[in-house]
Amino acid sequence: MTRTLVAMLAALACAAATAQDAYPATPVRLIVPAPPGGANDIIARIVGERLAERLKQPFVIDNRPGATGNIAAEMVARAAPDGYTMHIGNATIYLVNPRIFTKLSFDAEKDTLPAALIAELTNALGVAAASPYRSVRDIVAAAHANPGKLNFGSGGNGTTAHLFGELLKARTGADMVHVPYKGAGAMLTDLVAGRIDFTLENLPAVAPFLKSKQLRALAVTSGERWPLAADLPTMREQGIADFDITSWFALMVPAKTPRAILDRLNEATNAVLREPETIKRLEALGARTLHGDVDRTLAYIRSGSRGWIDAVTAARLKVD
């Protein structure tokens, strides 16, 4: 190799390193796979606002709802791997969609990469205040005594409430009927009225109804008691073996994003998540913050994948 070529390669490497050290040098596009107002959007705005302050560049929120997150994820999968386009990822996009959509033009697990964990949420099994069921055991026993008579509601096919309900059926062998709605709001209204028997909706969605005493929560889906609802038992404590599943949120970037940029983004995100005000705002949603370097972020997502895959398998969903 000639001295000239060595010098050129060294110069290119130095330029690349300098560009990565300066990251970000222009505004960053943060795509949200949901419309304004939901958990994905609120979390994106909380974290994006603080990252902009810390990294001295705007994080521009771009809401791209549709196809249960696939629209946003594909935009990132196809973007330049330079750290300037990312989205708020979750288990539905990363683990569920690749297993239920038969005609995806990208692979979320291969084409995108989690740069930083943000937060996790638990779901809660909720019943109407007037419901005769006082525990998960009561529900399972009633379902076994009356096959096909009990039902559970969700905000639609493929939502966490649907998948977790199917997982409950699989874990207990109970014959229960799924009732999908066009959104969690309508479903919760019917649950309060006693038109359906229970739901396994995320805790932030049911929390206002718990506070007003229109609903009662019988358990949480996390493996351990949820710090923000410590009085609620886990599904395991209610006799449902091998039920440990939560929802998570992470910053997702194109898969070939340089490690130096990943580390810079990860370090800044972890710093933001340690700020008392950020913790307070996320806890107000019922979420708890997560931390970890790039390697731990990927390990966390992979370690929690089995429950999600089991839920998808139990639901037997396929979408063309």
DSSP H or E stretch at residue 32 = strand 28-32
The answer to whether 158 and 317 have CB atoms below 8 angstroms apart is yes
Domains of the chain (ranges; CATH) run: 28-121+246-315 (3.40.190.150), 123-229 (3.40.190.10)
pLDDT at 16 exceeding the cut of 50:
no
Average pLDDT over all residues of the chain = 90
Helix (H) / strand (E) containing 85: strand 85-90
**Cα of 196 vs its chain's centroid, Å:** 25
> What whole-number distance in Å separates Cα of residue 113 and Cα of residue 90?
12
Average pLDDT over residues 311-317: 86
pTM of the entire predicted model: 0.83
Measured distance CA(92)–CA(233) in Å, rounded:
25
Distance (Å, whole) CA 295 – CA 300:
9
pLDDT at 266: 97
What is the percent of the chain with per-residue pLDDT over 70, rounded to a whole number?
A: 93
Q: In the predicted model, what is the mean pLDDT of residues 56-79?
A: 94
Q: How far is CA 211 from CA 5, 127, 185, 214, 286, in A?
A: 69, 13, 16, 8, 13
Whether 34 and 90 have beta carbons less than 8 Å apart is answered as no
For residue 52, the model assigns a pLDDT of 98
